[in-house]
Amino acid sequence: MLKYLIRRLTFLFFSIFLASVSLFVLLRLLPGDPANALLSVGATPEQIAAAQHKVGSDLPLLQQFLKWIVQLFSLRFGNSLISGVAVAPEIASRMSITVPLTMTAFLLALIVAVPLGFVAAYRARTWYGSALNAISQLGIAIPVFWVGVLLILTFSLRLMVLPAGGFPSDGWADTAGALKSLLLPVLTIAIVMSASLTRYIRSATLDVLGSDYIRTSRALGSSYVEAMWRHGVRNAAVPVVSILGIELATTFIGAVVVESVFALPGLGSLLVRAISQRDYPVIQGVLFVSTMAVLIIGFCVDLIQRWMDPRLNKSLTATRG
Amino acid sequence: MNTKKFGKFAMVGVLALSLVTTTTNAIAADSNATINIGSLYEPQNLDNTGGGGQGVTEALNGNVYEGLFKLTDSGKVENLLATAYKISSDGLTYTFTLRSNVRFHSGKTLTSADVKYSIGKVTAANSQSARKSSFKVVKSVATPNDKSVVITLSSRSISFVYNLSYIWIVNEDAKDISASEDGTGPYTLGTWKRGSTLSLNRFDGYWGSAAKNKQVVFRYFTDATALNNALLTRAVDVITSEQSPDALAQFKSSAFKITNGASTTKLLLVFNDRVAPFKKPLVRKAITSAIDNKKLLQSIWGEYGTLTGSMVPPTDPWYENLTKVNPYNPTLAKKQLAQAGYPKGFTFRLDTPNYDPHPAAATFIKSELAKVGITVNINIITADQWYNNVYKKLDYAATLQEHVNDRDVVWYGNPNFYWGYNNPRVISLINAAEQAKSATAQTQLLKRANRIIVADAASDWIYLYPQIVVASSTLSGYPINGLNSQFFAYNITKG
């Protein structure tokens, strides 16, 4: 296991380095100039040159790259070309909204989806099993922004009990206000996410229910619940954990849509604005952080799976042998 | 299996990477109220000479920073930090007397050195001020004493005092104002939470009448619907500039007030007048006559907005309604095309910015021009691409763009401007207007220039945007005109 951990960690660091190089190269391949965001219609050639000098887009690419790498290793990410503020604290401030938003929505979706998915599989042939199946399918088909719009319409515009968007100007210092602001966005993500998770859990449970080892366990006198508890849950959880990791990573990046609908100053809205302005340090910073989050989630999922399913270790040894 | 799983995460990782692609007289108004202002225009930074954009003018101009003069909401130029000025008989020397007892927010008293520094900031080599070229005429700035500033010009400039209303007077000791401030206005900067809010607090040491509210919070939105929802739920008290006319129906109740003020923002179909076929005025006139601008305005803004037929908005002194010079008349357009040597029409690329209302306007123009045999290939581009390809490289045939400032017809006097309109008669009239001895003479000269520009159909001035402010009916004292995006907050009261 230790050997695996070291190998996996090396792979993680290599991936992060590769990601940072790709980020830099891909961004520079895009047409455009960050200096443009500082200019207005009527700018003179001297003003254009001054803007390019200010943002550093007149420097040779290699020099820009070395600057980026140095900043990366110090985890500072430089300063925004447009606003001039330091990127790292800005990302940290935005993450103080995006991380609680995605994590809470994820946990809520999980709490809802696990029992629903199990019931939908265990009672697949009953009317409520079919109903759960149909509802979860419908949930997947509805776009996330539409759920947000419907929640705003109901709870903000009609009932006027929750804010339609925005975040308190005092941030988390106004805890009650911040929680109120996040309630509808969390619900929006959780509703859509729980629909897809329910389906994954249902299908994983169905696979396990039809397996030979459950049948054998039943033949040896266990009830369905006992058989599932002893042998089924762990087996069903292995593919589900893999999906959970992907769902969490996708939601972290995909939160931009919900942030836009609810006017939340999160990581996604920072990225969208930075892209439109070609604000390289901000784009690089946000993407580096989100890529790192995705890779780390993947790393954790791998470890969890290995812990849950010892066969993975054995198969690795067998392959080597 | 392990590698396979990692592959899935790597894919998500790659996905992350691929994302790179004045109404006043309020009753029992609360002088300690906080006014929440909703806007779509967050500043890029807080320095108007550092590329702060439209948002910085909206939030800080007149509120945090003041000029020697002030452009009022009705478009008049009034004394502000200057109490008086004298012009020499040759029109080249201006002597300004500064107001006494004016303090910066940091506590320092305003002196002539600050004025000199502030003018230097706008004219500096690294200045990104949109007004920089207006100050090319400044030859020297002298400060004979703390309360006087003497500015010598290289040539007469009738607009000089007006232009000075755009220069913020900043404390010369304030080094970097991109994320902080040191002005003399009725508010100090509170906090700026990027992507969310910018707050202004009443400045107790203000030299003039104190702001009528204690605090102003600009709340920024990227989505117009989210902004409208914020007003409906009272999260904001006013929307500085409503950009979705379809949304206005929901505000037509006694709880809200909708005002339709004067605007200076024009939507233009800009021709590259340097290249064929647009270098022929007859072709440009034909296109202008082939497009029903009235229908386009109605389809986008309903009952709002104005047709002007030229670059000059009604708030400019030299405004004339010139909509009849190039009337909507497809038959005339076909005739003009034939006269110009294009009886069967031609094909051109229309570079269209990807944000509203340009794509919709481009589609409308395409269908209108198809009726006279002209094929339009719509090329959707980002704002950044527009700046690179159209503005810098001049690699375009025609484009759509909005121009926001007042008094900007003078750009047609610059043959190097991106539209490349070059008419020596117009250039000499516009230069003469700037050197005119009186405002009346200036107005007459610019009217003559504008008539020639319109007769040449230098561009197609599609329409003048409306300036719609929507506010809670309990609010009063807010500006209703969107002159150059400024939004004075100090007279706003609630209750």
pLDDT tens-place string over residues B195-205: 889 999 999 99
Strand partners for B151: B94, B141
What would the mean pLDDT of B423-449 be, rounded to a whole number?
95
Residue-number span of the structural domain to which A32 is assigned? 2-73
Instruction: Say how many residues make up chain A.
Output: 321
Contact A85 B179 (CB under 8 A): yes
Cα(B185)–Cα(B209) distance, integer angstroms = 11
Q: For residue B108, what is the DSSP state?
A: P
| A59, A108: one domain | no
- pLDDT-based confidence at B94, cuts 50/70/90? very high
Residue B358, pLDDT > 90, answer: yes
| A143, A187: one domain | yes
Cα(A266)–Cα(B397) distance, integer angstroms = 40
CA distance A128 to chain B (A): 33
CATH architecture of B266-464: Roll (3.10)
| CA-based R_g, chain A, Å | 24
Work out the burial of residue A152: count CB atoms within 10 Å of its CB; fewer than 13 is exposed, 13-18 middle, 19 or more buried: buried
Mutual angle of helices A233-261 and A267-277, in 10-degree steps: 50
Task: Say whether residue A185 is in contact with chain B using an 8 A CB cutoff.
Answer: no
Q: What is the mean pLDDT of chain B?
A: 90
Cα(B152)–Cα(B119) distance, integer angstroms = 13
CB-nearest partner of A82 from B44, B132, B219? B44
Mutual angle of helices A267-277 and A87-122, in 10-degree steps: 130
What angle is formed at CA A41 by the lines to CA B275 and CA B222, rounded to 5 degrees? 120
| Structure confidence at residue B26 (pLDDT) | 42
- B359 Cα distance to chain centroid: 21
Residue B45, pLDDT > 60, answer: yes
Listed in order, the ranges of chain B carrying CATH 3.40.190.10 are: 1-6+33-44+185-261+469-495
Cα(A320)–Cα(B394) distance, integer angstroms = 62
Contacts of B256 in chain A (CB under 8 A): none
| Structure confidence at residue B30 (pLDDT) | 80
Give kind and range of the element (H or E) at residue A288: helix A280-308
Pairing verdict, β B148-153 and B138-145: antiparallel
CB-nearest partner of A23 from B6, B17, B221? B17
Residue B77 φ/ψ, nearest 5 degrees = -100, 120
Cα(B39)–Cα(B240) distance, integer angstroms = 6
CATH architecture of B1-6+33-44+185-261+469-495: 3-Layer(aba) Sandwich (3.40)
Listed in order, the ranges of chain B carrying CATH 3.10.105.10 are: 266-464
- pLDDT-based confidence at B25, cuts 50/70/90? very low
Contact B233 A163 (CB under 8 A): yes
Contact B157/B164 with Cβ under 8 angstroms? no
Contact B453/B222 with Cβ under 8 angstroms? no
Cα(B350)–Cα(B286) distance, integer angstroms = 16
Instruction: Assess whether the previous peptide bond of B353 is cis (omega < 30° from 0).
Output: no
Task: Say whether residue B4 is in contact with chain A using an 8 A CB cutoff.
Answer: no
What would the mean pLDDT of B444-454 be, rounded to a whole number?
97
CB-nearest partner of B199 from A40, A163, A169? A169
Can you read off the two tokens belonging to residue A125? 């042939």
Task: Say whether residue A278 is in contact with chain B using an 8 A CB cutoff.
Answer: yes
Q: Where are the alpha helices (DSSP H) in B255-301?
A: 281-290, 293-301
Whether residue A280 lies inside any domain: the answer is: no
CA distance A116 to chain B (A): 26
| Structure confidence at residue B291 (pLDDT) | 97
B65-179 has CATH 3.90.76.10 classification = yes
| Structure confidence at residue B38 (pLDDT) | 95
Q: Where are the alpha helices (DSSP H) in B316-475?
A: 330-339, 358-370, 383-385, 424-434, 439-455
| Structure confidence at residue A139 (pLDDT) | 84
Whether residue A95 lies inside any domain: the answer is: no
| A11, A127: one domain | no
Whether residue A293 lies inside any domain: the answer is: no
Residue B39 φ/ψ, nearest 5 degrees = -145, 155
Which residues touch A141 (CB under 8 Å, ≥6 apart)? none
Which residue, A23, A57, A73, sits at the end of a domain?
A: A73
Which residue, A215, A231, A265, sits at the end of a domain?
A: A265
How do residues A45-57 score in pLDDT, each as one tens digit?
788 888 888 777 7
Contacts of A85 in chain B (CB under 8 A): 179, 194
Residue to mutate among B3, B4, B9, with most A CBs inside 10 A, is B9
Residue to mutate among B18, B387, B393, with most A CBs inside 10 A, is B387
| A110, A49: one domain | no
Q: Which residue of B has its CA nearest to A30?
A: B21
CA distance B249 to chain A (A): 15
| A6, A125: one domain | no
Instruction: Say how many residues make up chain B.
Output: 495
Total domains present in chain A: 2
ipTM entry: 0.76
How do residues B203-256 score in pLDDT, each as one tens digit?
999 999 999 999 999 999 988 888 999 999 999 999 998 887 778 889 988 999
Contacts of A290 in chain B (CB under 8 A): 16
| A52, A114: one domain | no
How do residues B127-179 score in pLDDT, each as one tens digit?
888 778 889 899 999 999 999 999 999 999 999 999 999 899 999 998 788 88
CA distance B15 to chain A (A): 9
| Structure confidence at residue A320 (pLDDT) | 45
Can you read off the two tokens belonging to residue B404? 């926001």
Cα(B241)–Cα(B220) distance, integer angstroms = 12
Residue B13, pLDDT > 80, answer: no
Contact B19 A297 (CB under 8 A): no
**Which residue would you say has higher pLDDT here, A3 or B100?**
B100
CB-nearest partner of A157 from B125, B223, B229? B229
- A225 Cα distance to chain centroid: 34
Strand partners for B400: B269
Residue B17, pLDDT > 60, answer: no
Which residues touch A285 (CB under 8 Å, ≥6 apart)? A77, A78, A87, A88, A90, A91
| A256, A179: one domain | yes
Intervals of chain A under pLDDT 50: 319-321
Residue B337, pLDDT > 60, answer: yes
Contacts of B8 in chain A (CB under 8 A): 242, 246, 298
| Structure confidence at residue A314 (pLDDT) | 64
Work out the burial of residue B254: count CB atoms within 10 Å of its CB; fewer than 13 is exposed, 13-18 middle, 19 or more buried: exposed
Contact A36 B179 (CB under 8 A): no
Residue B110, pLDDT > 50, answer: yes
Interface of A with B in 55-114 (CB under 8 A): 82-85, 90, 93-94
Q: Give the burial string for B87-107 (b: 16+ CB within 10 Å, else e).
A: eeeebbbbebbbbeebebbee
Contacts of A94 in chain B (CB under 8 A): 195
- B23 Cα distance to chain centroid: 23
Q: For residue A312, what is the DSSP state?
A: H
Listed in order, the ranges of chain B carrying CATH 3.90.76.10 are: 65-179
Taking phi over 0 as left and psi of -120 to 50 as alpha, with beta for the rest, B407 belongs to: left
Residue B487, pLDDT > 80, answer: yes
- pLDDT-based confidence at B6, cuts 50/70/90? very low
Q: What percent of chain B has pLDDT over 90?
A: 72
| A33, A148: one domain | no
Which residue, A73, A93, A116, sits at the end of a domain?
A: A73
Query: Helix %, strand %, coil % for chain B, to 5?
Result: 30, 25, 45
What angle is formed at CA B485 by the lines to CA B482 and CA B488, rounded to 5 degrees? 80
Task: Say whether residue B44 is in contact with chain A using an 8 A CB cutoff.
Answer: yes
| A63, A113: one domain | no
Which residues touch B204 (CB under 8 Å, ≥6 apart)? B210
Task: Say whether residue B414 is in contact with chain A using an 8 A CB cutoff.
Answer: no
CA distance B393 to chain A (A): 11
| Structure confidence at residue B308 (pLDDT) | 93
